[in-house]
Amino acid sequence: MTQERRQQRLRRYWDKHADSYDRQMGFFDRHLFAGSRDWVCSLAAGQVLEVAVGTGLNLAHYPAGVRLTGIDHSPEMLRIASDRAGQLGLAADLRQGDAQALEFGDASFDTVVCTFSLCAIPDDRAAVAEMARVLRPGGLLLLADHVEAVPWPARAAQALIELISVPVQGEYLRRRPARHAQALGFTIEAHDRLKLGIVERLAARKPQPARARDDRRGPALACQPAPAGVPHRATIAAIMSAASTSPAAIMDARRPREVLRGSSR
C-alpha cells in the first residue's frame, strides 16, 4: 500500500470515529492519563501550535492569552474541534494538515503541543522533526502519549495488542517520542512516566543556534534565553513540584520510573 493510500485509509477511519472519539478518550482521561492534558497545556505560551488537535479535547485546558493554531488530518475531527472552540469563545486557527509535513515556515511558534497522537501518526520521527523545525529557538515542545511500558509483562501485552491495532487503525503502543526530541538536541526540562510507565509526558526546550567564537575553535556553547512568555525551567520545575503533591501523583510516585536515557528492558 502506498503512503498516500494509507493516509487516505487512516483519514477515513478517524472521520468515521470522530463522533465517538470523545467518549472513548474520556475513559482514558479519567483512568490512565492522570491530568496530563492540564500538565501539558498549562506550560503553553505565546504562539502555540497543536499538532493532531483532533476534536479539541485540549482547548479548554490552555491558559488565557495563547494564540492557538491547530492542525489535524481528519476533517470530521476538525469540525468537532471548531464547534468546541466556538462554545469556549476561543479564537483558534484550526486547519487540515499533515503532521509529517507541516505547512508552516521555520521557527514560527513559541510552543508546540502534541498529546496522545504520535502513537497514530505513521512516521512519528518525521512528525517530531517537523515540530522541531517550526518551533522557535528556545521554545518548548510539550508531549504526552502512551508509550512502551516498563514491566515486561505489560510490554508483551502491548505487543500482542499491536497485532490488531496497527493494521486496523494505525495505533502503535510502544513508541518513545521523547527519544526523538533528545536526538534532535532538545533539553529535557520536565519528564514523567505514569501508570507502569505507559504514560509519558515531557517538556523539552529547543536549543538556541550556536554563535561562532572562532572558525578554528568551534561554536559557542552558551544558550540564549527562552522567547518572551515561554515558561523558564524554574517555572516548569515549580509546576512539576505542585503537581507532585496531588493524590494521583503521590500514588504514581510509588510505581517504577525509568531514566529517560536508559532502557526499559
pLDDT at residue 6, rounded to an integer: 74
Location of C-alpha cell 552558551: 222
- Give per-residue pLDDT as tens, 120-142: 999 999 999 999 999 999 999 99
pLDDT at residue 34, rounded to an integer: 80
C-alpha cell at 130: 517537523
Q: Name the fold adopted by 3-208+224-253.
A: Rossmann fold (3.40.50)
User: For the chain, how long is the longest CA-to-CA vector?
Assistant: 60
pLDDT at residue 238, rounded to an integer: 54
Low-confidence stretches of the chain (pLDDT beneath 50):
212-224, 244-259, 261-265
Helix (H, G, I), strand (E, B) or coil at 203: strand
User: What is the distance between the alpha carbons of residues 177 and 56, in angstroms, rounded to a whole number?
Assistant: 21
pLDDT at residue 250, rounded to an integer: 34
Give ∠ CA 7-53-88 in degrees, rounded to 5: 145
pLDDT at residue 100, rounded to an integer: 95
Q: Hey, where are the domains in the chain?
A: 3-208+224-253
C-alpha cell at 178: 521523547
Burial class (CB in 10 A: 0-12, 13-18, 19+), 20: exposed
Classify each residue of 196-222 as buried b or exposed e, where b means 16 or more C-beta atoms within 10 Å of its C-beta.
ebbbbbbbbbbeeeeeeeeeeeeeeee
C-alpha cell at 2: 502506498
